[in-house]
Chains A and B, each alone.
Chain A
Amino acid sequence: MKEIEIEGKKIPVASQIDAVGLFCPVPIVKLKLALEKLKPGEIAEIVADDPGFPEDVIAWCKETHNHLLSLNQGDENSFVVRVEKS
């Protein structure tokens, strides 16, 4: 399992989602379905290239009370987002 470092601690990424090439709202739907399978505190990482994805994922996390850990530019025009299940 892929691990990421947060404040010096190594934390596994419990779910990795590739949503490149998929249009709104499919990346968000995939993220929602992936988080359903995780336990609170576990982390999902999603890569998506829908231009609306950053704003959508911020709004989605706010409304569903999940914790947006990071939102970064990935390869080419993609975004890499990590979310912790609340």
Chain B
Amino acid sequence: MAEEKRGLAVIFHSGSFDRLHQGFSVALAALALGRSVRLFFSYWAFRYLKRGEGSYFHLDSEARDYQAILQKGLEKGHLESVAEMIGQVKAMGGKCYACTHSMGLLNITRDELVEAVDRSMGLTAFLTETAEDQILFI
């Protein structure tokens, strides 16, 4: 099992739950296949990394028509919250990075972010670290 598998990098931009959920699903499938996963949180996705925002839930206009279905899925446990999925990714060895640009723009310091964040970094460092990976922008 020494083969080197191509890793997955996901850049989260949107704060819409459906988009984040799908991005995390791809990340978890990759981890289950034994691939490395690195997640980069920026802009509106960044809010999910803030301490005390574990129950934050937002949907963009397109997804809002399906809000009732999504919330029922969350209540019944068919869908996981973003906070739960961050925990799953971390437990399986994935990395979570905070975008330094977004931290500055939104005036958020490292101390205000959840433990799950491995570190903050800029895009150059992220692209260097994920140079061999598949990259998704969500």
Contacts and interface: CB of A to CB of B under 8 A. Distances in A.
A41 interface: no
A64 B33 contact: yes
Contacts of B31: 29, 32
B45 interface: no
A72 B103 CA distance: 50
A29 B88 contact: yes
Given A21-B78, A23-B78, A32 B32 contact: yes
Interface residues of A, number: 15
Contact of B28 (A21, A25, A63, A65): A25
Nearest to B25: A25
A60 B92 CA distance: 16
Contacts of B92: 29, 32-33
Interface in A1-48: 21-26, 28-29, 31-33
Contacts of A32: 31-32, 92
B88 A64 contact: no
A64 B34 contact: yes
A32 B35 CA distance: 12
A20 to B, nearest CB: 11
B78 A60 contact: no
Contacts of B106: none
Shortest beta-carbon contacts, A-B, top 4: A25-B29, A32-B32, A28-B32, A29-B32
17 contacts: A21-B77, A23-B78, A24-B29, A25-B25, A25-B28, A25-B29, A26-B28, A28-B29, A29-B28, A29-B32, A29-B88, A31-B32, A32-B32, A32-B92, A60-B33, A63-B33, A63-B34
Given A24-B25, A29-B29, A29-B32, 19 more contacts: A21-B78, A22-B78, A23-B79, A25-B25, A25-B28, A25-B29, A25-B32, A28-B32, A29-B31, A32-B31, A32-B32, A33-B92, A60-B32, A60-B33, A63-B33, A63-B34, A64-B33, A64-B34, A65-B1
